[in-house]
């Protein structure tokens, strides 16, 4: 296993700052059922740069500290993005990189929103269906569309091309 270098730490910090800034600058669509968190496009980056994963975790934690859902979003939302970043890092194919964020956030954040509104009573499952679908659709827009652009463009930028493992460039 290779060591985390100063360059890796700097990249992780920049990604954390970008994630938090994008979320906090666009707070309306960043929280809730019809969620389109533009910063989630960055969750595809661990496919190209494994050192992006801790940056995404810290950035999401910082953004969720100001969530209208409080501590439950700090824990659940951050866990969803962290798990998605880890799974994206393990993806073998570029076209699969957006899938972990869509699934993790749809299930975990959708479940959190349903619990927040309905508890674990009889309305939980209908609320989960609505919330999970809303979050997952926003994730598809952010990760597949915007994240897809990042996955296509970044390997062509000479500075970033040097940081990407050769097997990830194919």
Poorest-confidence range of 81-90, 121-130, 156-165? 156-165
Whether 78 contacts 60, CB under 8 Å: yes
32: pLDDT strictly greater than 80: no
Closest CA to 31 of 80, 79, 64, 61: 64
Judge whether residue 102 has pLDDT over 70.
yes
Say how far residue 158 (Cα) sits from the centre of its chain. Answer: 25
- In this structure, are residues 116 and 8 in contact, taking their beta carbons and an 8 Å threshold? no
Mean pLDDT of the chain: 92
* The predicted structure's pLDDT at residue 4: 78
Over residues 37-61, mean pLDDT: 95
Backbone angles phi, psi at 72, to 5 degrees: -60, -35
- Look at 33 and 47; give whichever has higher pLDDT: 47
The whole model's pTM is what? 0.90
């Amino acid at each position: 296993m290779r060591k985390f270098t100063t360059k890796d730490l700097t990249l992780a910090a920049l990604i954390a700052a970008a994630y938090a800034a994008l979320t906090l600058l666009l707070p309306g669509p960043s929280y809730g059922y019809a969620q389109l968190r533009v910063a989630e496009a960055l969750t595809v980056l661990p496919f190209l740069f494994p050192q992006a994963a801790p940056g995404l975790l810290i950035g999401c934690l910082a953004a969720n500290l100001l969530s209208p859902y409080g501590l439950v979003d700090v824990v659940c939302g951050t866990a969803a993005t962290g798990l998605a970043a880890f799974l994206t890092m393990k993806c073998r194919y570029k076209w699969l990189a957006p899938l972990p964020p869509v699934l993790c956030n749809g299930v975990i954040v959708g479940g959190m929103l349903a619990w927040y509104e309905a508890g674990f009573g009889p309305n939980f499952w209908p609320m989960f269906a609505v919330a999970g679908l809303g979050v997952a659709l926003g994730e598809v827009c952010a990760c597949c569309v915007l994240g897809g652009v990042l996955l296509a463009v970044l390997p062509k930028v000479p500075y970033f091309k040097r940081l990407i493992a050769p097997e990830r460039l194919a």
